[in-house]
Structure 1
Amino acid sequence: MTEPLRPDPTFHPSPRLAMEAEPEHLCYTALLSPDRSRPDAIAVVDVDPGSRKYGQVLTKVDLPNKGDELHHFGWNACSSALSPLTGHAFLQRRYLIVPGMRSSRIHVYDTQPDPARPKLVKTIEPDEILRKTGYSRPHTVHCGPEGIYVSTLGGAGPDGTQGPPGIFIMDCQTFEVLGRWEIDRGPQKLHYDFWWNLPRDYMVSSEWALPPQFENGIVPEDLLGNKYGHALHFWDLRDRKHVQTIDLGANHQMALEVRPAHEPTSEYGFVGVVVDTTNLEGSIWTWYRENGKFHARKTITIPPEPAKADVLPPLLKGFGAVPPLVSDIDLSLDDKHLYVACWGTGELRRYDVSDPMEPKQTGSVRVGGIVQHAPHANGKPFGGGPQMIEISRDAKRVYFTNSLYSSWDTQFYPEGIPGVQAMCNANGGFALDKEFYVDFGAGYGAHQVRLQGGDCSTDSFCYPSA
């Protein structure tokens, strides 16, 4: 008797069931070459506390070309494949979709049969993406019920400004680029992150900048002129139609990561804003739907920290302070804790968001920072500050890296940012794990982390928790 086909066991109907699943044993970390002198790479790290190689790099897989600038890669499939609308019931969370933000090239890596040794199985060149979509600079990957969604930061032309950026879809089995996702794109002219609530049938997206505003570093005149992104956009997911814009105010520059509540019955989420140009604050906003309309309210502010000009990089000398620079946020699967990376001040904050309109800070870890240069809890140096965050499914471990974007790293941390991955234990208290410190060396920056079996910033769920 043949074994019947079954869904991938790493797909979970509800967030609560995902939290009860087996913990991660491996993670995949994007490494980039800051000076583009060598290829970027994917590092496979042992995250099993019971392993003899805990906290060590098991494999480092080099990309075939130089200058890709890896950023937010993701899985080909996740728990959204359990949606009753999907035609792919037997997909596997097997392939890593790895976009090069600077090269506009996408690599597909197979993590089977040996998850510790991913193999390159397909390369999609930028001319194919441009020809089929009109987009360039692929950025964020999300797996949806019917395919792979990829957001972009650029349009056509050498500098990516001929036409607005947007989202395109890839086939989740052949990895062919199918075309633009948007049918009615509305007024959105900038792009950054996106995510959705599948049963509630909406998508939310955010804004950063066009390529000339980030590829060679932050443009101070544009920042002070409030020319970076500062709005949220809401979409009808099934109709692929823009339905509403919420402008957070031009002074709230760079509305980046969007984190919807994981529970599909909830219609709210969070977005992080890098800096308020009137006072250098960072902020978190809670967005929610009420009576058919979306609203947003600032619910967390994080102040800058005073500093003498002689210890500040040239970009900040005139301000006499270090802005927190909120570069990433992440929400635990139980929707209880929001983690906020303050890349400028070198702080990782934890908030209780059980009431999403009244967050309460419940923890803080200091490591790195433009002025403080706080060492790791084990005494080792930590360049940069907490940047990309990834939370384990059971909400007990919070992994993070320290590089933002190569040209921005140089502006804010002229001394360089050797790539490091660290982890906080969040099982009760909140503190750095002294034993977990992955040093990738001065030749690499460390960015996105993906966990074996799924994590809190990739999975979307179809069914309510019991």
Structure 2
Amino acid sequence: MTLSLLRASIVEPVDLYWKCGLANPHTSHCLGSGQILISCMGDPSGGGKGGFVLLDAETFEVIGNWEHPGEAAPFGYDFWYQPRHNVMISSEWGAPKILAEGFNPAHVAEGHYGTSLHVWDWSTHKRVQTLDLGEEGAIPLEVRFLHDPDATEGFVGCALRGNVFRFYREPTGKWAAEKAIGVPSKKVEGWILPDMPGLITDILISLDDRFLYFSNWLHGDVRQYDISDTRNPRLVGQVFLGGSITSDGPVRVLEDPDNQLQPRPRFIKGKRVSGGPQMLQLSLDGQRLYATTSLYSGWDKQFYPEMVREGSVMMQIHVDSLKGGLTLNENFLVDFGKEPGGPALAHELRYPGGDCTSDIWL
């Protein structure tokens, strides 16, 4: 009998501070060199700083900054690279010390949240272009290139206004961005603001580059779009899984541009879903979509305190990968409220052998 042991490696915050001047690591991608690249959201004082840390993939020791001195972006969050086109594109959330306080609309006006995508030269590690998406693109989060390594386009979900932008390379070699999908805010009463955005918190693209999925954490729905024509995405699937506008809750929708009834609360195996769909992951065959409900503990406490008390869940959605369509699996639920030492707030989802949000082809 052979036993194999998995060695746990921890990257200490002090190593990021002293070696890279960075803090709050977020997204990691493996590189063709065998190294690991991790984006960071801030500096050690909690201010915004979009830099990158290189790790040795064998020892997990911090090698140093990926970007050159003075090249860091004002804010950091997610990134994706396409080596065939010598490009990496990164996004922005906000200053970590501001995020920890929960969401305050005044902080947006004060400039504590990002609105830009940053274009990096993959070979020189220099920031060569910034695409300011403006108010419509406030808080651009998850960046997804098409999986086809020859493609020169992708999408980013912009949380605050409920928009998805398409970014692409122009014939001149410069990069540009345009709004591709918009989820209109709903006029409401009984909430902190008179208008409730969908708050797009995660997006992903199927491995065949045919469908794009995203979650509206506040409205409570997951959407599927056919992106065969990337300039004209077409809604082909939608399912509500909790959220802030359920029909039995304190919020009343006064005006809905989508002309939809307030959804009923969602129960799975007798448990009510607290919170809304947040992080997504798709099976490699494109037929099973998974969603968890926790975004960030400071924001979870503000918008879904009952989820913090009860723990988050993971749900499974059946996908029609031919014509499009989403249906909740009523017999699948992972309840993190029952974890030892719980309740727990589960966030990211990963497939052991690679998945739709981590695989990058060289």
Q: Does the pair score TM above 0.5?
A: yes
- Between 1 and 2, higher relative CO (CA 8 Å, sep ≥ 6) is seen in 1
Letter in 2 for 1:233: H
Q: 1:334 to 1:320 in 2, by over 3 A?
A: same
Alignment equivalent of 2:353, drawn from 433, 453, 457: 453
1:427 deviates by 3.5
2:312 matched residue in structure 1? 419
Q: Hey, what's the Cα distance between the residues in 2 that align with 1:187 and 1:164?
A: 6
Pair 1:381 & 2:267 matched: no
What's the secondary structure of 1:151's corresponding residue?
strand
1:198 to 74, 83, 95: 83
Distance 1:360 1:432, change over 3 A: same
Is residue 303 from structure 1 mapped to residue 184 from structure 2 by the alignment? Answer: yes
| 1:265 and 2:145 are equivalent in the alignment | no
Tell me the SS of whatever aligns to 2:165.
strand
CA 221–120 in structure 1, closer or farther in 2 if over 3 Å, else same:
farther
Equivalent residue, structure 1, for 2:63: 178
Q: 2:36 aligns with which of 136, 141, 148?
A: 148
* SS of structure 1 residue aligned to 2:332: strand
Aligned 1:121-270 pairs, distance under 5 A? 121-146=8-33, 147-156=35-44, 159-161=45-47, 164-183=49-68, 186=71, 188-225=73-110, 227-250=112-135, 252-270=137-155
Partners of 1:185 and 1:363 in 2: CA distance:
44
Out of 294, 313, 327, the position equivalent to 1:403 is 294
1:195-222 per-residue CA deviation (whole Å, 9 max, x = no partner) reads 1112111100001111121022123311
> Would the alpha carbon gap of residues 238 and 420 (structure 1) be closer, same or farther in structure 2, given more than 3 Å must change?
same
Amino acid of the residue matched to residue 296 of structure 2?
Y
Displacement of 1:378: 4.8
Change (3 A) 1:378 1:306: farther
3-state SS of the aligned residue for 2:15?
Answer: helix
Q: Structure 1 CA distance, aligned partners of 2:117 and 2:212? A: 19
8 Å Cα contact 1:139/1:152 also seen in 2: yes
Aligned equivalents of 1:166, 1:286: Cα separation in 2: 23
Q: Tell me the CA shift for residue 113 of structure 1.
A: 6.1
The amino acid that maps onto 2:39 is S
Q: 2:260 matched to which residue of 1?
A: none
Higher strand share: 1
Aligned equivalents of 2:181, 2:3: Cα separation in 1: 44
Alignment-mate amino acid for residue 343 of structure 2: G
Structure 2 residue aligned with 1:322, among 193, 196, 201?
196
Which residue does the alignment assign to 2:331? 435
Q: How many residues align?
A: 333
Is the 2:40–2:49 Cα contact (8 Å) retained in structure 1? Answer: no
Tell me the secondary structure at the aligned position of residue 130 of structure 1.
Answer: helix
The Cα of 1:180 is off from its aligned counterpart by 0.2
Q: Secondary structure in 2 aligned to 1:357?
A: coil
Q: Is the 8 A contact 1:136 1:165 kept in 2?
A: no
What's the % identity of the aligned pairs? 39
Q: Which whole-Å deviations, capped at 9, do the CAs of 1:259-294 have from their partners, x for residues lacking one?
A: 001001100000000113xxxxx0000000012010
Amino acid at match of 1:235: W
Cα deviation per residue 1:422-463 (whole Å; 9 max; x = unaligned)?
Answer: 11111344211122111111611110001121100011012x
User: In 2, distance between residues paired with 1:113 and 1:406?
Assistant: 37
Q: What TM-score do the two structures reach when normalised by structure 1?
A: 0.68
CA contact (8 A) 1:184 1:241 kept: no
- Unaligned stretches of 5+ residues in structure 2: 247-263
- The one-character-per-residue Cα deviations of 1:138-168 (angstroms, maximum 9, x if unpaired) are 1111111121011111113xx333x834101
Q: 1:285 to 1:185 in 2, by over 3 A?
A: farther
